[in-house]
A and B are shown apart, each in its own frame.
Chain A
Amino acid sequence: MGEKRERYQNRIELLQGTLDLLILQTLQWGSQHGYGISVAIRNRSGELLQVDTGSLYPALHRLEKQKWIKAEWKISENKQRAKFYQLTAAGKKQLTRERSKWSQLSDAIAGVLQPEE
């Protein structure tokens, strides 16, 4: 019980819009299903970023509707039928845009946070 609560407290609320960036980035490494995406984000963030299904799936469908990713039903490594998402050409461009936006943002924040010398 105690451990769980701690983990929960350690979770970081994702900034508005950053989930899209994380999803697009995850799909950069290859097509993946929703569960796989959430596991990938969790692992690569050192268990710090836990994506809610209630945020993940609307985000996936939003990106699909925007035609930045496309979906296909396939059989997973462990013999499960799952809906795999894949970056489209437009999605790749979007990823570049989002990344540069993000680095601008993080530079800006870092600048603000830097102790004055």
Chain B
Amino acid sequence: MSFWRRKKREAEIEEELRSHLKLSAQDRLEQGEKKEEAEHAARRDFGNMELVKEVTRDVWGWRWLRDVADDARYGMRMLLKNPGFAIVAVLSLALGIGATTAMFSVVYGVLVNPYPYANSDRMVHLVAHDATGNRRYINLTGPQLQQLRQASCIESSAAMEGLDLTTTEGDLPENVLTVYLTSNTFIHFGVPPLMGRGLVPSDAPEGQDPENVAVLGYQFWQRHYGGDPDIVGKNIQLAHKSYSIVGVVRPRFTWGDGEVYLPLRVTADPRRAYFPMIRLKPGLTHAAANAELQSLLEQFAKQTPTHFPEHFRLAIEGLNDHFVADIGGTLYLLLSAVALLLLIGCGNVSILLLARGTARQHELAVRSAIGAESSRILRQLLTEALMLSFTGAIVGVALANSLVKLIVNWLPEFSFPHEAAININLPVLFFSVGLALLTGIVFGISPALQSSRPDVAQVMQSSTRKMTAGVRGRRTHSVLIASQIALTLLLLAAAGVAMQGFVRMMRVNLGYDPHNAMSVGIPVRDNSYTTWEARRAYFNQLLQKVGAMPDVVSAGISTNATPPNNGWEQRFEISGKPAAEQQRARINFISPEYFSVLHIPLLQGRIWDESETMHGAKLALINQTLATEYFPNGGAIGSQIRVPELKGEPPFQLAVEGSNSWFEVIGIVGNARDDGLRNPVKPAVFLPYTISMPAWTQLLVRTRVPPLKILRAVREQIHTVDPDQQASRNIRDLDGWITGQPEWEQGHLVATLFAGFAILALALAATGLYSVISYAVTQRTNEFGIRMALGARRKDVQLMVLRSAAMSVAGGVLIGVVLTIMLNRILARWIQGSSLDALILAGVVLLLVATAGLSCFIPARRASSVDPIVALRYE
């Protein structure tokens, strides 16, 4: 029944009853009664007009709705009458609901519903674990893909290859991250394009060169073409080849982070391996698929041993498994933190409602005395609570919107799927509404229960409203305060641990100097510089050009050695020593300037020179960790080491003759971080970059000015060597490489958010405590007046007030400390690299007690500054 129909019906009932009165009065007039008498008698006979109206309306079943509307109107009036109370309550809830909504939308986006692909829960990656537990994604050749497709556990499969191409449309060549996809990929993923079409089988006919068609990534379309709505049908130049644009994918289709998708021609070339995309048949476990595919992959490994680790075990992973392992725990930890914040906020509102309930005892007692059922009063109070929580939710969702943007910015870039849509969407809004309902009941129910059964006789008889709350009320207050304090302490301790861990990571001894240095990535085009001599000469030419720039102090080549997480982890052997399976080192390919550019000291021996580099001399440097671990008694210099897996694969990987033979160690360099900021430095081997050159290199440049300022000039220099040569996108300076480490980003996220949440929690707890004490002080003004009139000193009154709070604060601190110690193990697991120590705990307790003291002291002072005369007259 709509609101308007209901209104109309109510008006009609009113009119009907009035006409009854008129008819009745008219009858009496006709029987000879006087007009006034007749009307009076008619009204008397009729009875209670309002009551008749109400029971008649009830026939239509609006009683419930009308009661709610009445309650809401009344509640609104009560809230507007106490704006201070309403604002504090709504803000307390808004902070909690906002933060929880924001965190939930991240959890929902990243962990619950990350992929737009059809049946994404059955899509898997082939991952092999070697004997030491290292993960490696498996790539397969064309014939192997054909064979894999026949496996009975696989429903559908496709393949891809990522490559850096260039657009040569601007003044300088620009890098375009290109993903080649088999032509069935769009069917495999089941996501229709935004515009035009996706790739179709006729784009890549069997055994022929694919059509020159391109599908654009959404971001690239937005950035490069300004979201041109007429883009389909136009052409794009990639590496001097023209492609016709046939479609644009949807924003959440970000497979391979592709900027442009081109059809892939799968060849039978055994050197060329593609990344497989696989969807399992329904109802299959990963274990069953592993069991079936293990033997097939072992067979493949015999064909192409370099594409597989030795003695591997297949452990296929769902699309999101890796991200869940990476960041799932952290996100759930943050979600629990905001849930705590919300609980603290609820505690606050409960306290405020209880205090107000006591102040409203008179009002409620009157209602009860004139016949309101206690269930009716309960409903009234719950309606008020729900009004508060829904207002809080509305403000909270508004806050959440900006918080979500902040969190998304801070999420470790490669620790969550880029397909994830992290925003305030419909499921998130449902969650917020549920949260509002739940919180309304959580904080509203206990005050409502207490206030809905006022002791009418007692309240009505007492002449004054200013009574201290009953023992029961005071006990509830103490419990609420103590729980608030305990939860706040837990949050503060977690924040302390997170911040300490992060600060420790920021202060870590890097072993190299990241300031005023950058790394410029240079992808080499397919089919260019395909001989060892040509590529060596090309890289050297690039290095010479950039090294000669006036703002450049020094420059070097670091194929794969840009710290703080660098090198190719491989098994190595030392001549004359038995080689253990686990004997692994990070193998780095560099030019001799590498160490001076990074300010890494040479501890012993010498560094090879330029002519040795150009010849691909079989010389090696090792870091201090490797020296002390494998040569504890010295003798490292002059020893021979070899990396058995170090082989070329032309035309992609160009290696010197005998690259997997013995290298002479000629020097030891200082340790620099090579396994991230948290892990100890791993053993490292440095070889001349000319030993093995992929289709990719990096120029390491130390500059006199902030490095990114001369990036354009560097790109221009590269342009002079090869007019089609682009630099990779998103070039960072070495400080940026540090802040781009997942552990740095994760530490930053957790530390910042926890600190924020903890500060909010502290503020909320302080507000709660302040409200309780101020309220108690107001209630006892009379009593204090009497006490002071009888000779109590100010200090005595202050102590009395403080003592009442001290117990609950102390209890809360105690529970909080116990809780923190109990939960320490979980904290240490998810806030990595940190653990609780006594210093943090003591600091947190001190901070909390000081804040609590301050929140109590202000009202206590007010209590003691009461003029006894005024207090006694106080109503």
User: How far, in angstroms, from A58 to B16 measured CA to CA in the complex?
Assistant: 12
Interface-centre pick from B15, B27, B30, B52 (highest chain A CB count, 10 A): B52
- The contact string, 1 if C-beta is below 8 Å from chain B, for chain A 69-93, is 0000000101011110000000000
Does chain B have a CB within 8 A of A35? yes
> How distant is A104 from chain B, measured CB to nearest CB, in Å?
28
**Contact A54–B23 (Cβ < 8 Å):** no
Residues of B within 8 Å of A53, CB to CB, are 17, 20, 46-47, 52
**Contact A81–B19 (Cβ < 8 Å):** yes
Residues of A within 8 Å of B19, CB to CB, are 33, 35, 80-83
- The contact string, 1 if C-beta is below 8 Å from chain A, for chain B 27-66, is 1001000000000000000111001100110111000000
**Contact A57–B58 (Cβ < 8 Å):** no
**Contact B59–A61 (Cβ < 8 Å):** yes
CB within 8 Å for A62 and B27 given contacts A53-B52, A82-B19:
no
User: How far, in angstroms, from A80 to B30 measured CA to CA in the complex?
Assistant: 14
- The contact string, 1 if C-beta is below 8 Å from chain A, for chain B 1-35, is 00000000000110111011011101100100000
Shortest Cβ distance from A83 into B: residue? B16
> How distant is B72 from chain A, measured CB to nearest CB, in Å?
26
Residues of B within 8 Å of A62, CB to CB, are 59
User: How far, in angstroms, from A79 to B58 measured CA to CA in the complex?
Assistant: 30
User: How far, in angstroms, from A76 to B22 measured CA to CA in the complex?
Assistant: 11
Interface-centre pick from B16, B27, B58 (highest chain A CB count, 10 A): B16
Residues of A within 8 Å of B48, CB to CB, are 54
Residues of B within 8 Å of A39, CB to CB, are 27
**Contact A35–B55 (Cβ < 8 Å):** no
CB within 8 Å for A34 and B52 given contacts A39-B27, A52-B47, A53-B46:
no
User: How far, in angstroms, from A65 to B60 measured CA to CA in the complex?
Assistant: 8
**Contact A54–B47 (Cβ < 8 Å):** yes
> How distant is A61 from chain B, measured CB to nearest CB, in Å?
4
**Contact B56–A58 (Cβ < 8 Å):** yes
> How distant is B51 from chain A, measured CB to nearest CB, in Å?
6
B interface: dominant SS: helix
> How distant is A60 from chain B, measured CB to nearest CB, in Å?
8
**Contact B26–A78 (Cβ < 8 Å):** yes
CB within 8 Å for A76 and B23 given contacts A54-B47, A54-B52, A57-B16:
yes
**Contact B59–A54 (Cβ < 8 Å):** no
Shortest Cβ distance from A60 into B: residue? B56
**Contact A61–B56 (Cβ < 8 Å):** yes
> How distant is B5 from chain A, measured CB to nearest CB, in Å?
13
Interface-centre pick from B20, B24, B26 (highest chain A CB count, 10 A): B20
Residues of A within 8 Å of B15, CB to CB, are 81, 83
**Contact B23–A33 (Cβ < 8 Å):** yes
Residues of A within 8 Å of B26, CB to CB, are 78, 80
CB within 8 Å for A82 and B55 given contacts A34-B16, A54-B47:
no
**Contact B60–A35 (Cβ < 8 Å):** no
Q: Which of B23, B27, B30, B56 contacts A57, CB < 8 Å?
A: B56
Task: Count A/B pairs, Cβ under 8 Å.
Answer: 58
Shortest Cβ distance from B55 into A: residue? A58
> How distant is A8 from chain B, measured CB to nearest CB, in Å?
12
> How distant is A69 from chain B, measured CB to nearest CB, in Å?
13
Q: Which of A3-52 contact B (CB under 8 A)?
A: 33-36, 39, 52
Residues of B within 8 Å of A65, CB to CB, are 59-60
User: How far, in angstroms, from A54 to B17 measured CA to CA in the complex?
Assistant: 11
> How distant is B33 from chain A, measured CB to nearest CB, in Å?
15
**Contact A36–B51 (Cβ < 8 Å):** no
Q: Which of A54, A76, A83 contacts B55, CB < 8 Å?
A: A54
User: How far, in angstroms, from A39 to B27 measured CA to CA in the complex?
Assistant: 10
CB within 8 Å for A54 and B16 given contacts A35-B24, A61-B60, A62-B59:
no
> How distant is A73 from chain B, measured CB to nearest CB, in Å?
8
Shortest Cβ distance from B59 into A: residue? A61
Residues of A within 8 Å of B16, CB to CB, are 34, 57, 82-83
**Contact A80–B23 (Cβ < 8 Å):** yes
Residues of B within 8 Å of A80, CB to CB, are 19, 22-23, 26
Residues of A within 8 Å of B52, CB to CB, are 53-54, 57
> How distant is B53 from chain A, measured CB to nearest CB, in Å?
8
User: How far, in angstroms, from A53 to B48 measured CA to CA in the complex?
Assistant: 9
Shortest Cβ distance from B57 into A: residue? A61
Interface-centre pick from A36, A61, A80, A81 (highest chain B CB count, 10 A): A61
Q: Which of B12, B24, B47, B58 contacts A58, CB < 8 Å?
A: B58
Shortest Cβ distance from A54 into B: residue? B52
Shortest Cβ distance from B29 into A: residue? A78
User: How far, in angstroms, from A78 to B29 measured CA to CA in the complex?
Assistant: 12
Residues of B within 8 Å of A33, CB to CB, are 19-20, 23
Shortest Cβ distance from B16 into A: residue? A83
- The contact string, 1 if C-beta is below 8 Å from chain A, for chain B 46-90, is 111001100110111000000000000000000000000000000
User: How far, in angstroms, from A62 to B55 measured CA to CA in the complex?
Assistant: 11
Shortest Cβ distance from A36 into B: residue? B23
User: How far, in angstroms, from A71 to B423 measured CA to CA in the complex?
Assistant: 54
Shortest Cβ distance from A62 into B: residue? B59
- The contact string, 1 if C-beta is below 8 Å from chain A, for chain B 118-134, is 00000000000000000
User: How far, in angstroms, from A54 to B53 measured CA to CA in the complex?
Assistant: 8
User: How far, in angstroms, from A33 to B19 measured CA to CA in the complex?
Assistant: 9
User: How far, in angstroms, from A61 to B26 measured CA to CA in the complex?
Assistant: 24
> How distant is A109 from chain B, measured CB to nearest CB, in Å?
29
> How distant is A35 from chain B, measured CB to nearest CB, in Å?
4
Shortest Cβ distance from B19 into A: residue? A82
User: How far, in angstroms, from A38 to B377 measured CA to CA in the complex?
Assistant: 37
> How distant is A26 from chain B, measured CB to nearest CB, in Å?
15
> How distant is A19 from chain B, measured CB to nearest CB, in Å?
13
Q: Which of B796-843 contact A (CB under 8 A)?
A: none
Shortest Cβ distance from A39 into B: residue? B27
> How distant is B208 from chain A, measured CB to nearest CB, in Å?
76
User: How far, in angstroms, from A54 to B54 measured CA to CA in the complex?
Assistant: 9
For the complex of A and B, the 6 pairs showing the least CB-CB separation, nearest first, are A35-B23, A61-B59, A57-B56, A82-B19, A35-B20, A83-B16
Interface positions of B (Cβ within 8 A of A): 12-13, 15-17, 19-20, 22-24, 26-27, 30, 46-48, 51-52, 55-56, 58-60
What are 6 sample pairs from A and B whose C-beta atoms fall under 8 A apart? A35-B20, A54-B51, A54-B52, A61-B60, A80-B19, A82-B23
13 other contacts beyond A53-B52, A81-B15, with CB at 8 A cut-off? Answer: A33-B20, A35-B19, A35-B27, A52-B47, A53-B20, A53-B46, A62-B59, A65-B59, A78-B23, A80-B22, A82-B16, A82-B19, A83-B12
